[in-house]
Structure 1
Amino acid sequence: MGDKVIWGLSEKGKFSVKSAYYADLETKNQKTGETSNGDQNERLWRKVWRLTNSGKVKQFLWEALNGILPTRSILFKRRIIDNSTCPVCNREEETDIHVLWDCPASVDVCGEDCSPVRKWGRNYADFTTLWSNLQSKLEEGKLHIVAEVLYDLWKRRNDMVFEGKFKGPCVLIQQAVQEVETVNVDASMDSKRGKVGIGVVVRDFRGEVHVVVAAPIQVIEDIKAVVHAQPGWSVTFKGRDGNRGAHAVAKLALSLSTECVWMEEVPTEVLPAVVSDLPSFVMSV
């Protein structure tokens, strides 16, 4: 009897797309490791997509975590270029963890006073390990800043390579930090008069007030519309202890007949409450 070709991954020995799919899935699961590792990866990606950063930052993180950023190390291995040395420091091989974390130019940025990772070490084997650690140890606001910093580091690298431009560490970290703003909203009701007021306080990462709004209840629908129109924004509950400013503004709105807005200033009636919230907004570094 002559030899014949059989497909060893199906009971009948015949090839099928279904059997090939499950074979490929099993191989990927083996590379991932035990179920706990698979669950850990799923949690990592869930947190990435829930970040309030822009889509371009999330896309950058996806590429970095999948090891496909076009670093010189990757391009060298694909024989596209003949030199894998970092174009910024000209010392080490340019891997993703090097350009985003270990390069002296990156260390200078992360070492700035307002950086959430100013005192972090440099002993990470790869970017995925670093990012997993960042996710587990940083609160949402600080993780947002770090994601912006990492994206800006990669963009700065490309600007230098292709346009000869290079931003200093202070400029780059401030650019990332200024992306973060907090909006506090609260409502107050006068049951005797049947009136409801809403208060809004907008602060930067330092807790400094940018905008105060006191208005009748109708403005709630406008706020909902704005939030829904911004896919990168998220809404979270904040207890009264950290929301005194917005509550005071909402009570002020009860005495108003129309919406009032204060830019870069705080009405004297609510100033004590707004100041009392400040410690909860200042990010410790």
Structure 2
Amino acid sequence: MTENKDGWDEEILRDLFNARDQQCIKKVELGELDMEDGVYWSQELHGNYSVRSAYRLLQRQRGYWVESDNNSVWRKVWRINASAKILNLVWRSLSFCLPRMSILGQKKVVVDTRCPVCKIESETVEHVFLRCTVAIQCWGLILSGMQYTCQNLHQWWEQALDMSDGGKKAEIATVCWSIWKARNDVVWNKKYTQVYVVIARAKQFLDQWRNAQKSAVCTSYPQLLEGDGSCVWVKPQESMIKVSVDASTFQEFNASGIGIVARNASGGMMVARTVCISELKTDSRNNRSYGDKRSTQLDQGSEMAKGYNRIG
């Protein structure tokens, strides 16, 4: 440009560019406004940098982002009614940021990059959740009858969520968590988990989480401790008494305590008793205190059990 910035400096253009490029440059109209150049972020329409657009750009450069399906699958995933740690695992798997053997191999770490569970092929995210023998058997049991035509994990998730209702979506996500937990048991503890255990653990965790969402902890004690209210008490069946027992030892006082509560089918308390054992003795054969043993020896008297068929 000329010193006045009102046109192209033809002498400089002739020195630096060939005839064709000169003609192309001259076709570019120069603005009439006297404005300073500034930084413009091309990934946003407003030109300002954002973490979201930078993340999308990096994922696209790595080949992990497909414009046609990523936005829809993310919306469906975040609508799953499941625990936060379950959704976090799904997000990490779809973002390909889970630690796995193939990543160590890429970083020149000398390890066996095959799947530690089945030892068939390299441990990628798709293999762990789709092609591993444990994953194949799990999906065959809980997604039987569903046909998939997917090429990657994003497409698999989108098809699985489209063909499932709300409850099944949460079950799928929780089974993914259980599959990953089974994989970690092999890596860190050399413990192999059977398929039915993987599914049972997922269903049990999901049921406990759902029950916890429905219940509220009501107590006069102002300072709740971690884990309070985590167990959900269930009423016994008709003609039954449910007896809840707990015991604890206090080494500093050389004592132990036992608590017993009996409730009927309507949830009403029938009997409540606490027992303190001031002298705590230890059985050297199995290192169990007599106080712990006595906690299991309940007094199921005739008065309390009158009219009931069974005490649980």
Structure-2-length-normalised TM-score: 0.48
Contiguous gaps of at least 5 residues in structure 1: 4-10, 183-201, 203-222, 227-260, 268-285
Instruction: Give the match for residue 309 of structure 2.
Output: none
- Is it true that 1:166 corresponds to 2:192 in the alignment? yes
Distance (whole Å) between structure 2 residues aligned to residue 81 and residue 14 of structure 1 = 50
Query: Counterparts in 2 of 1:8-87, with a 5 A limit?
Result: 14=37, 16=39, 18-19=40-41, 22=44, 25=53, 28=57, 31=60, 37=68, 40-87=69-116
Amino acid at match of 1:168: Q
The equivalences for 1:90-109 within 5 A come to: 90-109=119-138
1:177 aligns with 2:199: no
| Structural mapping, 1:138-177, within 5 Å | 138-177=164-203
The alpha carbon displacement at 1:181 in A equals 4.2
Q: Distance in 1 between matches of 2:139 and 2:66?
A: 32
Query: What secondary structure is seen at the aligned counterpart in 2 of 1:118?
Result: coil
Contact 2:73/2:154, CA 8 A, preserved across alignment: no
Which residue of the partner structure matches residue 7 of structure 1?
none
CA contact (8 A) 1:159 1:165 kept: yes
AA at the equivalent of 1:133: Q
1:110-151 deviation per Cα after TM superposition (whole angstroms, max 9, x unaligned) = 333xx2x13445763221111111111111111111111111
Q: Alignment partner of 1:52: what SS?
A: coil
- Asked if the contact 2:177/2:202 (under 8 Å) is kept, the reply is no
Could you tell me which residue of structure 1 aligns to residue 237 of structure 2?
265
| AA partner of residue 141 (structure 1) | G
Partner residue in 2 for 1:208: none
Q: Tell me, in whole angstroms, the C-alpha distance in 1 between the residues paired with 2:149 and 2:74.
A: 23
**Structure 2 equivalent of residue 206 of structure 1:** none
> Offset at 1:52?
2.2
The answer for unaligned runs of 5 or more in structure 2 is 1-11, 17-30, 218-232, 240-312
Q: What fraction of aligned residue pairs are identical, expressed as a percent?
A: 26
1:235 counterpart residue number: none
Please give the TM-score of this superposition, normalised by the length of structure 1.
Answer: 0.52
Confirm whether residue 130 of structure 1 aligns to residue 156 of structure 2: yes
Deviation at 1:74, TM superposition (A): 2.7
SS in 1 for 2:41: helix
Structure 1 residues 141 and 155, CA gap change in structure 2 (3 angstroms): same
For residue 46 of structure 1, report the CA deviation from its aligned partner: 2.6
| Higher RCO (CA < 8 A, seq sep 6+) | 1
Q: Aligned partner of 2:191: which letter?
A: K
Q: Given the superposition, is the C-alpha separation of residues 75 and 154 from structure 1 closer, same or farther in structure 2, using an over 3 Å criterion? A: same
- 1:170 deviates by 0.9
Equivalent residues of 2:94, 2:154 under 8 A apart:
yes
**2:167 partner amino acid:** G
Deviation at 1:55, TM superposition (A): 1.4
Distance 1:126 1:144 in 2: 20
Cα deviation, residue 81, structure 1: 4.3
Structure 1 or 2: more helix by fraction: 1
Q: 1:28, CA displacement in angstroms?
A: 3.5
> Matches of 1:57 and 1:265 in 2, distance apart?
33
Query: Residue 242 of structure 1 aligns with which residue?
Result: none
Q: 1:47 to 1:33 in 2, by over 3 A?
A: closer
Contact 2:82–2:206 (8 Å) recurs in 1 = no
Deviation, 1:225, is: 5.9
Cα separation, partners in 2 of 1:70 and 1:42, compared to 1, 3 Å: same
Distance 1:100 1:33, change over 3 A: closer
Aligned-residue CA RMSD (Å): 3.8
Aligned pair count reads: 181
CA distance in 1: counterparts of 2:86 and 2:109, whole angstroms? 26
Aligned residues of 1:108 and 1:169 also touching (Cα < 8 A):
yes
Report the residue type matching 1:172 in the other structure. Answer: V
